[in-house]
Amino acid sequence: MSGSSSGSSTSSSPQKRVYLDFNATTPLAPEVIQAVEQSMHEAWGNPSSDHEEGARARAVINQARDDVARMIGAMPQDVLFMSGGTEANNVVLHCAVTHFRKWCLSQDSPIYHHLRPHIITTKVEHDAVKLPLTHRYAIEADVTYLGVENLPEAVLESIRPSTCLITVMLANNETGIMFSVAHIGRLLAEVNKKRENEGLFKVLLHTDAAQAIGKVPVDVTDLNIDYLTIVGHKYYGPRIGALYIRGLGHKTPVYPLFYGGGQERGYRPGTENTPMIAGLGRASLLVHNNVQDYYTSMKKTRNYMERQLKKVFGNQVKINCVDPCIPMDPEACSVPPRGPKQQHFIFPRLPNTSSVSFYYRQVSGPEILRHCRLVQASCGAACHAHTENQSK
């Protein structure tokens, strides 16, 4: 269950419902809806057109890129708009593997020419990382799946000469647990210095920040990462995403997943979805301006709910993944979200997320939820449902 407000009611339902599934998707902020609407009316031109209609659309996109970049402390030119987080994550894997292969082929020693790329990840990544690895790269790459305990050290210990990418989510979508990507980033920087001296491939670092953005501050410099995935509909924005690439095209490699017109400098072709991009920019601006308040409010609401659950269900309920300093007294854990860099470690759990187990025999989570008249929550990631082609 993940909630960032205590409830949500919609006009089409006679009954007020309590929506607790904000990690599946958020409603759109009124400001975001307004930005999308304004763009549909006023910036409908093709952004590639040389005339005034095109120029107006380009201006909207440039503004949105600035706003997305500002939210994560990035340069605007390092942000590419994409259809969503799934595409962004797939692009990152494609970039790392393609670049590694090119690098191998450029080496004098034939020992490199057929070296298989190696990727390090966790066992708890979203399907948009997990499934490309188990399907597309099942044969052509080696993958190490790590448990989440002792993560930074385990990542470092897993690095091989053929490692091309480490991809670790910033926060888990089901438990809200945050992973120490910044720590990995710092350790990896040291490793990469040594690798450079040894003539080895520079290991790239990616984080899927889909669930973290909008709940805690996310800064690409603090994180020390090369790629970062942004997903609008997880922070009251629209159903598109973006990919941050540090020093896009010169410091960090980028290879398009598909080809077409010259949009996004040819790295992500296809006529830009201007209204959705405008909405993503507006959602990012809201986060940039308000993330500290969001953090405080979400945590307060979530902790209140957890206290109430304990009060009502006692030992029949367990709040999972509770960090040591939160449990039943949220005021005792007044860590400022915008602290010094090293304080990133002390957000072990997203402020909006609750993972809850009920100890009733022979009653499953879905059954409990089916009996809830008002509460809308989930027993896992929404995208695991309604699948036909997962095993192909």
Q: Which residue, 340, 233, 338, is CA-closest to 288? A: 338
8 Å CB contact between 251 and 96: no
8 Å CB contact between 237 and 197: no
3-state secondary structure of 337: coil
Q: What would the two tokens of residue 23 be?
A: 């990690």
Pick out residues in 234-273 that bind its own copies (CB under 8 A).
238-240, 249, 255-263, 265-267, 269-273
Instruction: For residue 128, state whether it binds its own copies (rule: CB under 8 A).
Output: yes
Instruction: For residue 37, state whether it binds its own copies (rule: CB under 8 A).
Output: yes
CA dihedral for 73, 77, 83, 87, sign (positive or negative): negative
Pick out residues in 61-100 that bind its own copies (CB under 8 A).
83-87, 89-90
Instruction: For residue 31, state whether it binds its own copies (rule: CB under 8 A).
Output: no
Q: Which of 14, 52, 106, 324 binds its own copies (CB under 8 A)?
A: 52
DSSP 308-329: HHHHHHGGGEEEET--TT-TT-
- Nearest approach, Cβ of residue 243 and its own copies (Å): 13
Q: Which residue, 203, 211, 210, 163, is CA-closest to 187? A: 203
379 classed as catalytic: no
Choices 38-46, 149-157, 298-306, 346-354 (CB under 8 A): range interacting with its own copies: 38-46
3-state secondary structure of 164: strand
Instruction: For residue 136, state whether it binds its own copies (rule: CB under 8 A).
Output: yes
Pick out residues in 359-378 that bind its own copies (CB under 8 A).
366, 369, 376-378
Instruction: For residue 301, state whether it binds its own copies (rule: CB under 8 A).
Output: no
Choices 113-121, 187-195, 293-301, 383-391 (CB under 8 A): range interacting with its own copies: 383-391
Instruction: For residue 339, state whether it binds its own copies (rule: CB under 8 A).
Output: no
CA dihedral for 369, 351, 275, 253, sign (positive or negative): negative
Instruction: For residue 322, state whether it binds its own copies (rule: CB under 8 A).
Output: no
Q: Which of 9, 48, 221, 342 binds its own copies (CB under 8 A)?
A: 48
- Nearest approach, Cβ of residue 71 and its own copies (Å): 20
The rounded distance, in Å, linking the Cα atoms of 131 and 389 is 11
Catalytic residues: 383
